[in-house]
Amino acid sequence: MSDRQLSQGTSNTKRRRVTRACDFCHRRSIGCRPSDSSRTCQNCKDFGHQCTYHREPRRRGVQPRASSRMSSSNAINTERNQQAIDSRNDSWRAPRVASQAVIVDLIDVYFEIVYPIFPIFHQPSFTRRISRAEYMHDRALFIVVMAMCALVSRRIRDGAVSNPQWDLLSLQAVDTSTFMAHATAELASQKPASDLNTLRAHAILAITSIQTGNIKDMHFHLGLYHTLVAMDMLHDESNWPKGINAIEREERRRLFWSIYTLDIYTSVVWGGIVRCHERQSRVAYPMEIDDESLTDETADQKILVREVFSPTALRRHDNTGISVDCWVSGWNFVTDLYRVLEHALARFHRSRNKANYAGQGSLPNNIFLDESCMIPEASVADLVLQLYLDLPSCYKETPDMSFHNTRRDRIAFQAANITATLQLVRIVLLATSRGTVAARCQIAREVLDSFASIPVTYLLAISTPLLHHLGGIGSILGSVLDEPCTGSEYRLVQSIMLSMAELLENLQPIQQGSGASQSLREKASQITALIQSHGHLREADSSANEQQSGDSVWPAGTQGKGQFDTTREDPLAQVQLDLLNPLAWNFDFGQYWN
């Protein structure tokens, strides 16, 4: 009696040994073990799979001569054809990781708190596929769904979800590591491929790695993403697969620019190299149209191709300004800011190399310089400010999250992201110019005031990446305390520390009890004690350093007078040395100040 007959229940005889592997065990190259039931093997029983024997068995013994003379190319073609048939027959089945209800809810949460920053899907068509559980038969879709669930489940655990409609306890029934394990295992079992879902899976797993604090894994997945893009030259739209529809074209554009911004951001925060340069890219911006209105017909009628934006020219959009009708317009503006940030970052590294290699000869990569590097940092900052001022008010004000008006909330997300990115640009420009102590204190105050104006629900939703933005403020403070300051400037630093501590207390859910705010308060107290212990404080006239408030559109800082006659051995230097340690944020920008 054959094994197939046993699997169909035609006999109640217990299977003593397995003479032929079932389809599930054969595909995974694992031993097919008998179970107590005659209808399924033990592996299929453990994984909840249907135990089938659809695969045609190979003949035993010596092969016919005609078969042995088959060319290797024909054998390869036969194997490929069989793989295609298996794919069409949905021979692959996903393991059961979580219930359909939990997965659908996690995907919905993704579109609520992650999608406004990383809109790499077309929501209506994607959620339709999830509701039909198509990921159970599509391996690439399964991988990206597992990655999304891993990211969202971790964000939930880290306190990023404020919407009261969600049953957060049930959504944490499956641990983040379980989703991650399934996504990475299936990715490892596949040959490298640049299909859209595989690219999206690596992108989301990189973001998840930032959320979990595993920066090596972040670099690993971003590296694989960039490798797959390079293999097929996907930085140029002309190399994209032929015949893709308008929706996939827009998804690929969103993915490309999403990971471009992530690449620049990780380069700033962790000091890595930039792997994607805007000047070498030939990918248009996403169309500024809501997902619900995006179809093949509307896409053909409204093709949007942006002219190249550079820090020396104002952003133009069909000569009509930035749209307020669609949140994608604000998202595209964030990309503009990151393109400015890329050039500012290159300038920062040039200035750092010049300082580090002074007297050691010219550097090969500094021989050819474009004109933009000669523009003063102040001019670039003025350009960025003008771009911001030209925005519609909806992108400069962040109302409270409504949880029911999706369009309004997504526009508000863009306003929050624009504020955070704008301050990151200012921090990089400040690092390049190494402004005065007063200027650094002022920007630190303005950055804090900007974040304080954003409702905490959005800050929590942005989650861990936001903490790295705030780490830049710590770098500014560290640089201030590394050199002689006026007494009033030390007090200003102290007030900034206390304001930062207050902001961090509001973000306590996403810090996992790091105690950063309490540590800042303790250091502020140390500064008070050190100031009081210095009897040689000399008040002096420093009117040349007074704040020029004028018509500044930024929240003005405050300054005072007084001078410490301090040295490197002064106890105040100890405050600077361990300023960033208790924050436990891997913001490597601080090392470049010294």
DSSP for 241-305, written as a single string: PTT--HHHHHHHHHHHHHHHHHHHHHHHHH-------GGG-B-PPPPSS-GGG--HHHHHH----
Q: Is residue 387 part of a domain?
A: no
- Of 86, 210, 221, nearest to 143 by C-alpha is 221
Does residue 487 lie within any of the structural domains?
no
- Within-domain flag for 78: no
Give me the percent of the chain exceeding a pLDDT of 90. 34
Among 386, 293, 274, 406, which residue's Cα sits nearest to residue 336? 386
Tokens of 503: 């902001």
269 assigned to some structural domain: yes
Does residue 189 surpass a pLDDT of 60?
yes
Q: Which pLDDT value is given to residue 567?
A: 37
Please choose, from the candidates 399, 413, 418, the residue with its C-alpha nearest in 3D space to the C-alpha of residue 469: 418
User: SS3 for 523-542, per residue?
Assistant: HHHHHHHHHHHCCCCECCCC
Q: How many domains does the chain have?
A: 1
pLDDT value of residue 12 = 45
Region 153-180 average pLDDT: 93
pLDDT digits (tens, 9 = 90+) for 491-529: 777 888 888 888 888 887 776 545 667 777 877 787 777
Grade residue 587 by pLDDT with cuts at 50, 70 and 90. very low
Residue 424's H or E segment, with its range, is helix 406-433
Helix (H) or strand (E) holding 37: none
Q: Is the pLDDT of residue 270 over 70?
A: yes
424-447 per-position pLDDT tens digit: 888 888 777 766 777 777 777 888
Domain ranges, residue 275: 99-291
Residues 119 and 328: their CA atoms lie apart, in Å, by 9
Confidence band of 554 (pLDDT split at 50, 70, 90): very low
CA nearest to 338, candidates 233, 272, 420: 420
pLDDT tens readout for residues 30-48: 778 888 766 788 878 776 6
Contact between residue 144 and residue 201 where contact means Cβ atoms under 8 Å apart: yes
User: Is 119 inside a domain boundary?
Assistant: yes
Q: Around Cβ 577, how many Cβ atoms within 10 Å?
A: 12
Q: How far apart are CA 196 and CA 209, in angstroms?
A: 20
In a domain, 549, yes or no: no
Q: In terms of Cα–Cα distance, which of 518, 456, 446 is closest to 476?
A: 446
Question: Residue 192 above 80 pLDDT?
Answer: yes
Q: How far is CA 574 from CA 87, 509, 515, 577, in A?
A: 64, 30, 20, 5
Smallest Cα–Cα separation from 24: which of 3, 4, 43? 43
The pLDDT, as a whole number, for residue 127 is 96
Asked if residue 229 is part of any domain, the answer here is yes
Structure tokens of 570?
A: 């002064």
- pTM: predicted TM-score of the whole model, two decimal places: 0.71
Per-residue DSSP letter, 556: P
Q: Is residue 551 part of a domain?
A: no
> Does residue 195 come out as left (phi exceeding 0), alpha (psi in the -120 to 50 range) or beta?
beta
